Amino acid sequence: MPNQVESGFRRRLTSISSSDTAILSIICLGVFSTALDQTVVVAALPSVMVDLEIPLTHLDRAAWIVTGYLVAYTVAMPLGGRLSDVHGRVRIFQAALVLFSIGSAMVALAPDFGWMVSARVIQALGGGATVPIGLAMAVATVAPPKRGLAIGLVTAAAEAGAVLGPLYGGTIIEWLGWRWIFWLDIPQSFILIGLLALLRNRSEPTAKMDYLGAMVMGGALIFLTVGLSQRSLFSASSPLPYLLVLIGAGLVWALIRLERRTVQPLLAPFLYQSRTFLASNGVQFLVGVALIIALVSVPLMAQTVMNKDEWESVFHLLRLTSTIPVGAILGGYILRWGGLRLVCVAGLALIGSGLLVMSGWGAEVGELRLTLPLVAAGMGFGLVIPPIGVAALSVSPDRYWGTAASLVTAARMVGMALGLAALSAWGIEQFYNLTAEADFGSFQETETLVIEAGLHVFQSLFRVTGVLSLLAILPALLMKDEQKTKAATG
């Protein structure tokens, strides 16, 4: 009898490890869990500042709790992606979750600001590796016609985690306090590590990790991301961002030279020599710029120009963010029949048209005029994810899928850094220019002038990002599924 029970248990474990649905479910749970921590700090930041005695006058320092995570998250992607190609995706996914747990424990124990930022960096190094590894695992799990859908499901889980992060964080803070957000990460991570242990780890015995290339690429991403996130990039008040970007570009050039002489390079020549791969990264970069500006501007405009309270502004944003996962899954389904270019162009058209309609918003907006462009833009942001992912991964052999997925994901993060800088520097500069020479009269006149200036800034931001999204159609037309093309011609 015990032997029969043991035999049945083994059969069940085997069925789980060979089930596409079970594998995708575990991957989605993993990326959902780590994606929560991308945005959960939005809800926790006020409580963190009070607890760690960070005054409001040092808000720029407190921003490094977010910026440090963003930079480390971006740098971790190519390193984790390539390590998973070499040592096996399941094993590195588990290692990333262990590192994420260590970082979470350190955040929960943080006694001061410096400790907090350092802990968030460690947390991000683990969390940043999970998305590209998850994408590579998903693509390897399913048949080629279903790869778009698999990418859509994984990215939908990640987007859902990012959407629910502030709500989850706010609930935990209300009941237990902000530190418990990060304590709860630890049991969640170890449950996922146990589930991943059910899956087979497939390493590549002949593959090697290019550590020197990883260090140079990491340095390039750090300099580019930090440089592009500086407010003075647009105000030209300091040479620092230009110097950082120049150093980052120099490291990219040095990386390409180095990788040409490396036997198994991190940045393989077939990636940067591929028109499809470069086009997909270009589209992803521009989408990142548009996405971060929309995510920040929609609730900010609601609270300032439209005079809505905090919850109303959140519900404005939810009309956009809640449709991104839906669009990602829908894009994956349509991709099986519609083709990469058609789905990507349709998504970019929805983003661009939605943002351009939003550029016509006034201080008073009807419900229909408010909702339709937000839903359209959200659907567009979701639709473009599967075709960009499939195009990027189609360029490389399966032993480089983790690397390809990580690079195309990092492109969006770098775009978001630039978009955030544009919002905080160019937008604020515009606002000051519009109000600097104003002759302030009564309170009502002053309020009207400030609202009009804010309205002009938000309209300009939506208009510029709308045009950028439509311009992204040009590189999108260069994308194609190269594996499908080779199969058809070969």
Q: Taking the complete model, does pTM exceed 0.85, yes or no?
A: no
Write the CA distances from 315 to 46, 321, 484, integer angstroms. 20, 10, 42
What is the residue range of 243's domain? 210-265
* Tens-place pLDDT, residues 343-374: 999 999 999 999 999 999 988 888 899 999 99
* Predicted confidence (pLDDT) at residue 446 exceeds the cutoff of 60: no
Region 163-176: mean pLDDT is 81
Residues 2 and 102 in one domain: yes
pLDDT confidence of residue 290: 92
Residues 123 and 234 in one domain: no
**163 or 180: whose pLDDT is higher?**
180
In 314-351, which positions are buried (b, 16+ CB within 10 angstroms) versus exposed (e)? Answer: bebbbbbbbbbbbbbbbbbebbeebbbbebbbbbbbbb
* Tens-place pLDDT, residues 194-235: 999 888 888 777 778 888 888 898 888 888 878 877 767 766
Could you give the number of structural domains in the chain? 3
Residues 381 and 280 in one domain: yes
What's the angle, vertex CA 335, arms to CA 338 and CA 322, rounded to 5?
120
- Cα separation, 196 vs 24, in Å, equals 11
Residues 53 and 182 in one domain: yes
* Tens-place pLDDT, residues 253-287: 998 889 888 888 877 887 888 899 999 999 999 99
pLDDT confidence of residue 9: 47
8 Å CB contact between 145 and 337: no
Residues 229 and 196 in one domain: no
8 Å CB contact between 82 and 135: no
8 Å CB contact between 75 and 127: no
Residues 246 and 295 in one domain: no
- Cα separation, 157 vs 138, in Å, equals 12
- In DSSP notation, 102-159 reads HHHHHHHT--SHHHHHHHHHHHHHHHHHHHHHHHHHHHHHS-GGGHHHHHHHHHHHHH
Structure tokens at 190: 């170890």
Domain finish residue from 167, 193, 209 = 209
Residues 121 and 242 in one domain: no
Residues 128 and 274 in one domain: no
Residue 487 pLDDT class (50, 70, 90 cuts): very low
**209 or 9: whose pLDDT is higher?**
209
Residues 361 and 242 in one domain: no
pLDDT confidence of residue 57: 54
Residues 6+ apart with CB under 8 A from 350: 376, 377, 379, 380, 383
Write the CA distances from 339 to 328, 342, 346, integer angstroms. 15, 6, 11
pLDDT confidence of residue 98: 95
Residues 328 and 423 in one domain: yes
* Predicted confidence (pLDDT) at residue 314 exceeds the cutoff of 80: no
Region 423-450: mean pLDDT is 60
The helix/strand count (H/E) of the chain reads as: 24, 0
Write the CA distances from 281 to 46, 124, 330, 400, integer angstroms. 35, 22, 21, 16
8 Å CB contact between 393 and 147: yes
Q: Where are the beta strands (DSSP E) in 329-479?
A: none
Residues 224 and 309 in one domain: no
Residues 326 and 453 in one domain: yes
User: Which CATH number covers residue 471?
Assistant: 1.20.1250.20
| Alpha-carbon dihedral sign for residues 69, 74, 79, 82 | positive
* Predicted confidence (pLDDT) at residue 432 exceeds the cutoff of 70: no
